[in-house]
Structure 1
Amino acid sequence: MYRVWNFVTNYSLLLIIGALLALIWANSDPHGYHHFVEYPLWFNDWVGVDAKAWIASYGEDFHTGDTASRLRVLTAHFLVNDILMAFFFAIAAKEVWEAVILKNGSLRGRKAATPLFATAGGMLGPVTVYLGLATLLGSDVYDAAANGWAIPTATDIAFSYLVGRIVFGAGHPAVRFLLLLAIADDAAGLIILAIFYPSGALALEWLMLSLGAAIGVFVLFNWLPRTLDRGDQLRRKSTWVRNHLSFWPYLIAACLSWYGFQESGLHPALGLLPIVPTIPHADRAFGIFSEAEQYLTDLLNHIEHLLKHPVEIILFFFGMMNAGVEFSAIGAPTWLVFAGLIIGKPTGILLFGWFAAGPLKLGLPRGMRMIDLLVIGCVAAIGFTVSLFIASVAFEPGPVQDAAKMGALFSFAAAIISIVAGRLCRVEKRYG
């Protein structure tokens, strides 16, 4: 795990800059900011949000009333959140896939048991705190905010890993534990998005297009060349496919899969997930921050490297499109999200981790104490990226969504809380 600083600067620095610019813009010129976010790029019949609903909400502001009966409008917000962010989630899915399926994958076997239990606690704890406090605040708050229950379940893998190294030191076993928990959290977050936050009325028959694209590209461009190469040490067929076709068949399949997700009602940002497992991959996983991964030449890692810089830019615009919240929007959902992360995460991770390591006798990594689970929980309370994304799909644009987003932004306070908790719990840093 040598590339954490590169990873954080590559995937998070531009995101932070975009978020800060959005905050400044939204609080200095809110009309100009929202005009930028909802700018109509293309009226069409295939891609985008419902044109009638968009016109009802924003048409007057853009002096748009007649769209020649077009069904959809591709807005700047839809382009970033629903199309371009699909590449970000594809990279997350790639790491989860390798961790689960490959030899030496970090989520395989007994070593992952306690982190997986802690992950469950780190999701159930925030949900319990969020909904419990919403109930105490009255039916009006509960009815308005209940759909955002999943917002505080997220863990920002890059920022959490960075803070974890600051608190524990690079060589502490708790850092590895935190990384396993964050990867599992990402996997659970993808499932939650797919099941609980559809983008429209469900038409699941369209998933057959995604399934067909995944099966077709796997059979024709992965399984078939390898089958024809049996007995050929030079692997001529596979080599020809790799050299001449490269990633293009998978990109075409990804477009078909994305469209299938959009039409099915599932969130289209998850549309590339069925294609990721079909891409030829390495035989073993070295870990998301492992230096060895940069030397792998399989197509899956090659595609990830090609997406590196584009995803940096995508995350910048994601921050711009989603973090522009006026400070006056702070309200009950802000504190529900914040409490779910700051209180629910550490409590859930500690309780479930203790139950797995103690009564279930699954144990902790050597050199890790039970109290370290509490500190890990504080570090994992940094939600940010995925919390912002869930907030944008859990609520319609408006005061409740803005308030919930502010709670996700406030989760950066977990970094300070983690450092203080580390000192109070007498964490001994290890740099080996």
Structure 2
Amino acid sequence: MYKVWNFVTNYSLLLIFGAVIALIWANIDPHSYHAFVEFPLAEDFFIGHAHDDGHGHVSRTLTLHYLVNDLLMALFFAIAAKEVWEAVILKNGSLRGKKAATPLVATAGGMFGPILVYLGLAAILGSETYSAVKDGWAVPVATDIAFAYLVGRIVFGAGHPAIRFLLLLAIADDAAGLVILAVAYPTGALAIEWLLLSVAAAVAVFALANWLPRKLDVGNEVRPNSTWVRQKLGFWPYLIAACISWYGFMRAGIHPALGLLPIVPTIPHADRAFGIFASAEQHLSDLLNDIEHKLKLPVEVILFFFGLLNAGVEFNAIGDPTWLVLAGLIIGKPLGILIMGAFAAHVLKLGLPEGMRTIDLLVIGCVAAIGFTVSLFIASVAFDADAMLGDTPVQAAAKMGALFSFGAAAISIVAGKLCRVEKQNG
């Protein structure tokens, strides 16, 4: 296992710092906090929140919240997609072959378990509660890979095989989360013609900046065309394609934060990977890793602002949605991973990594119950900011559940002790 501690810690601490400031600010002066979040940067702009005047004219307002959540967070999801892409497509990718089979089945349990617990408890609470919260079924599905990794190291130690299992599960969970976000939470009616613009941008940049130069270089070991494209054009063709793709997603009615995903697979990549967020990848010079290195600091800053603009929830917003999200994460996630992981390992005979026990699946599930980043993001798109359940604002209450999922860290440590996990540092 290559060292990833510093990389993930940087991402995590800035995000936490932004979230803590947001919580304090929102509970001291909620009016100024929300005014800051929705501060208009540009009126009647070509991107931003859409407003229909009722006569067919649509205007857009670019707010600070839109800038971070819908535009800049696309860079964060692009990095997540890069890790998923590597895991799936590369010859030594972590989600290829039999070694990924059990984590993939366990991931399914880690998704369906929270959904069943969330919707089941909502139904028990009554039809009014169920109707108000049903659209948030995906909020407790997510696993925050950075925080899960940090807590996993504390519980299992860096050398335990459960750490790699946890990372495989988290990668697959992220991939499924991206699909859910795109399919289940459109920003408007699907406009296929704009989605085709995104597809066209991806095809064009792959053909012109990737496939064609390599085709022209066939039989020439010097590779003059590929070298010229890399040295003279660099990442610019992909940046232009990314902007076009993002705009296509925005106009197509799919959440624009996912707008860079079609471009990631088109970027040249060496057929080797060292694992999720591995620091050893800083020594790779292929274009995809080079772009990720350049994005590292900007994305850290973006995550700070994401925490600042999304975690500002007033404590009086705690309500049924809070406990439903939390129950989905800390009950549904561990049970789902344990049941489906054990089913894959023993019934389907797919087995577990050497040195890992069946009971470790329960502890992994507790660690994976930390939702935070993606749960916050999904809560912000699943519920209208003005939706209420009695006197409780649904979106804010669901966000509080995502924030409370940090408690899964303490649960994981206790579960590790009770299940007699033997830490392996190395």
For 1:196 and 1:212, the matched residues in 2 are separated by 23
Q: Aligned equivalents of 1:141 and 1:80: distance in 2? A: 31
**Correspondence for 1:61:** none
1:422 aligned partner, one-letter code:
G
- Of 170, 184, 187, the residue aligned with 1:182 is 170
Show CA shifts across 1:303-352 (max 9, x none). 00000000001001100110000000000000000000000000000000
Paired residue for 1:4? 4
Shift of 1:200: 1.2
In 1, distance between residues paired with 2:108 and 2:321? 23
Residue in 1 that maps onto 2:289: 301
Q: Does 1:403 align with 2:388?
A: no
Write the distance in 1 (CA, Å) between the matches of 2:397 and 2:152.
28
Aligned residue in 1 for 2:390:
none
Secondary structure of 2:43 counterpart = strand
Residue number in structure 2 paired with 1:276: 264
Cα distance, 1:70 vs. partner? 6.8
Cα RMSD, aligned residues only:
1.2
CA contact (8 A) 1:127 1:150 kept: yes
Cα deviation code 1:41-98 (max 9, x no counterpart): 1113520112358xx9xxxxxxxxxxxx771100111100000000000000000000
1:60 alignment partner in structure 2: none
Residues 124-135 of structure 1: matches in 2 within 5 Å? 124-135=112-123
Deviation readout 1:189-223 (Å, 9 max, x if unpaired): 00000000001121122111000000000000000
Match of 1:65 in 2: none
* Alignment pair present for 1:383 and 2:384: no
Structure 2 SS opposite 1:44: coil
**Alignment deviations for residues 161-212 of structure 1 (CA, whole Å, 9 cap, x no partner):** 1111110111110111000000000000000000000011211221110000
User: Contact 2:8–2:277 at 8 Å: present in 1 too?
Assistant: no
What does residue 406 of structure 2 align with?
Answer: 412
Question: For the Cα contact (< 8 Å) 1:7–1:158, is it kept in 2?
Answer: no
By how many angstroms is 1:286 displaced?
1.5
Structure 2 CA distance for aligned equivalents of residues 334 and 291 of structure 1: 36
Please give the alpha-carbon distance, in whole angstroms, between the structure 1 residues aligned to 2:31 and 2:279.
Answer: 45
**1:36 match:** 36
Aligned length: 418
Q: Is the 8 A contact 2:2 2:280 kept in 1?
A: no
Letter paired with 1:374: L
Question: C-alpha offsets along residues 351-399 of structure 1, whole Å, 9 cap, x if unaligned?
Answer: 0001000110000001110000000000000000000000000001141
The 5 A counterparts of 1:349-388 are 349-388=337-376
CA distance in 1, matches of 2:91, 2:274: 9
**1:119-141 Cα shifts (integer Å, max 9, x gaps):** 00000000000000000000111
2:300 aligned residue (312, 321, 326): 312
TM-score by length of 2: 0.96
Q: Give the partner amino acid of 1:40.
A: P
Q: Which deviates further from its counterpart, 197-206 or 98-107?
A: 197-206
Which residue pairs with 2:79 in the alignment? 91
User: Residues 183-198 of structure 1: matches in 2 within 5 Å?
Assistant: 183-198=171-186
In structure 2, what is the Cα distance between the partners aligned to 1:97 and 1:160? Answer: 20
Alignment check: 8 A CA contact 1:261 1:267 kept: yes
Matches within 5 A, 1:16-35: 16-35=16-35
Q: How does 1:242-281 map to 2 (within 5 A)?
A: 242-281=230-269
Larger displacement relative to structure 2 (91-100 or 282-291): 282-291
Unaligned runs of 5+ residues in structure 2 are 387-392
| 1:218-233 equivalent positions in 2, closer than 5 A | 218-233=206-221
In 2, are the aligned partners of 1:43 and 1:51 still within 8 Å (CA)?
A: no
Q: Distance in 2 between matches of 1:379 and 1:70?
A: 45
Contact 2:50 2:58 in 1 (8 A): no
Structure 1 consecutive aligned stretches of length 4 or more whose deviation exceeds 4 Å: none
- Tell me: CA distance 1:334–1:118, structure 2 relative to 1, closer, same or farther (3 Å): same
1:105 aligns with 2:93: yes
2:138 & 2:260 partners in 1: Cα distance? 22
By how many angstroms is 1:150 displaced? Answer: 0.2
Go from structure 1 to structure 2 and tell me whether the alpha carbon gap of 1:188 and 1:70 turns closer, same or farther (over 3 Å shift).
closer
Report what 1:63 is aligned to.
Answer: none
- The answer to whether the 8 Å contact 1:337/1:407 transfers is yes
Q: Is the 8 A contact 1:168 1:430 kept in 2?
A: yes
Aligned to 2:50: 50
User: Following the alignment from structure 2 to structure 1, what is the Cα–Cα distance between the partners of residues 47 and 252?
Assistant: 13
The residue number in structure 1 matching 2:158 is 170
| Partner of residue 13, structure 2 | 13
